[in-house]
Structure formats: structure tokens, C-alpha cells
Amino acid sequence: MKNCLFTGAGVALVTPMHEDGSVNYEKLKELVNWQIDNKTDAIIACGTTGESSTLDDKEHRKVIEEVVKETNGKVPVIAGTGSNNTQYAIELSKEAENLGADGVLIVSPYYNKTSQLGLVKHYSAIADNINIPLIIYDIPPRTGCKISIDTFKILADHDNIVGVKAASGVISDVATLAAECGDRLDIYSGNDDQIVPIMSLGGKGVISVISNVFPKETHDICQLYLDGECHKSTKMQLDFIDLVHTLFIDVNPIPVKDAMNMMGMEVGPCRLPLCSLDKNKMEILKSCLKKYKLI
């Protein structure tokens, strides 16, 4: 049986910026400690929410390094080290391992995409070159590259490939994945509105955006389900559904960063080509945050 990296709610942590667009490492440390204090079960650094696509090499490594240091073994740190260049993903994953990350999250190749055979070779090559666990990140709406069940079945045989962040949004696909690979791959919801549905299919928890503003509550949704309190978990999932949907009224992480700034967390702007919400969406976000007493 493969080792489980974590159960519960892992936060897909934002990367805070100064107003000039440089990374705010002091704020990053504050966020890490706030997450740990509020029962986050794992920290995912440099994922989509962490704007990994606009971090340069030095920043990418520095963010991982600082998160590992500040976490200090209290919860697992999973580094986003995916790329559509396999060799670069290998190099970045090896660096994350050297920096002390507990695992890596590898998004499927984007833009150039690849065949299903190419996906097998891509993920296998990365997993072959590191000694820490790898979680596959399947998010076809952003990558244009859908991982088939047959491909998952092959990759599940690799000792170092331990899980899947399932973000296709299609529950029937997750059900098939669980039926075919659930004993060999841990499944995490990649969508905050599907935490309970995916856990009901055997999922281990979520890699979450909403945890950036509601870490304890997202942890509690997962923990209640794991403790057998399914009705309470479901109620929390439904109670927070409006907040979840509002945090995705524009491209992630635009709304969540704007929300955190409204809450006084001073995480700064997104980097171009991402920019702040327009006036109408900002009002929708503000109204929602007031509803949940976050501002």
C-alpha cells in the first residue's frame, strides 16, 4: 500500500505580492502560520492559485523553500512543479525534493498537450527521477489535456505516483477513477463545490482555494466526513456553496486574492496577464464576503 501524503483539506496557497509585483516573502510566512493555526492539513505551494506560471525560476524555488522552512514539519508541503516541458518538470521536482518538500503536484502538459502515451511517459519520467510522492493534477478546462482512465490505470502502477487532484468537474469521471484505481491512487477534489461528493466516492479530501479565506471550515468539512458525521459535513458544504461559487466568478486566483485583500490580509495584486476584478464583480464579491461575515 502506498503512503498517503495527507487526508483532509490542503490549501492551494496564494503567492502574496508587493504592490510593485515582487513576491512578499514576509507575508508568505504569515499566511503559512495562519493556515497551520487554523488546522489546514497540508500546504500546496506554487500551484495554479499560487500563480506558478508567472513566477521565475528563482522565485519558484524561493517560495517552496520559505514554505518548507516556515511549516517546519507541522503539516506536509506539496510543491507545484508541473510543466509542459518534461525535463524542466524533472529539474524543478528534484529541486523541490532537495528543498524539503514532502511531495509534488504535477499538472498535465498544457498548450502543446500530448497523447495518452505521452502522458504516461511524461509522468513516469518525473516520478522515476525523484524520491518523494507525486500527485497528478488533472484539470482539462485549463490545460486542454484530459487524462483517460486507461492512462490513470497504467500510472497507478508506479510506486511513486500516489494520488490525483481531480478537477475535471465531472463526478462520473471521478466515480470511474475511484472504481478502477481507488485502491492505488488517493483522490483529492480539485473543486471546492465537490468536496463531499468526491469524499463519498472514497476521496481523501480536497486541494482547496476556499481554504485561503476559510481554512478551519474547509478542514472541518473534511474532518467531519472522515469522522462519519456525513450529514454535518454535507450541511457545511452546502452552507458555503455561495462563497465557493463567488470565488470563481473570474479566473482563479483573481477573486480569492481580491477577497483576501478586502479582508485586510494584504496579499497584493495578481501578476499580469491576470488583473483585479472589474467594478461589478468586485461588488458581488464584497456582498458575498459580508454575507459570510468575512468583512
Q: Is the peptide bond before 273 cis (omega within 30 degrees of 0)?
A: yes
Contact between 136 and 164 under an 8 Å Cβ cutoff? The reply is: yes
Q: In this model, does residue 169 exceed pLDDT 90?
A: no
Q: Model confidence over 81-112: pLDDT tens digits?
A: 999 999 999 999 999 999 999 999 999 999 99
Is residue 77 assigned to a domain?
A: yes
CATH number of the domain bearing residue 28:
3.20.20.70
Flag whether 19 is in a domain: yes
Q: Average of pLDDT values for 119-141?
A: 96
User: Exposed, middle or buried by CB within 10 Å (0-12, 13-18, 19+), for 118?
Assistant: middle
Q: Is residue 16 part of a domain?
A: yes
Give the range of the structural domain holding residue 210, as residue numbers without chain letter: 8-229
- Considering the domain boundaries, does residue 289 fall inside one? no
Report the distance separating Cα 49 and Cα 251, nearest Å. Answer: 10
Q: What is the mean pLDDT of residues 32-39?
A: 98
Whether the per-residue pLDDT at 143 is higher than 90: the answer is no
Q: What residues are labeled active site?
A: 137, 165
pLDDT in tens, 149-165: 999 999 999 999 999 99
All three cell numbers of 57? 525560476
Number of domains making up the chain = 1
Q: Is the pLDDT score of 2 beyond 80? A: no
Statement: residue 23 has pLDDT above 70: yes
Query: 243 lies in a domain?
Result: no
Residue 292 located in a structural domain:
no
Q: Does the pLDDT of residue 75 top 70, yes or no?
A: yes
pLDDT over 70 at 1, yes or no: no
Return the pLDDT at 31: 98
Asked if the structure places residue 118 within a domain, the reply is yes
| Residue 288 forms part of a structural domain | no
Tell me what the mean pLDDT of segment 52-74 comes to. 97
- Write down the pLDDT at residue 280: 97
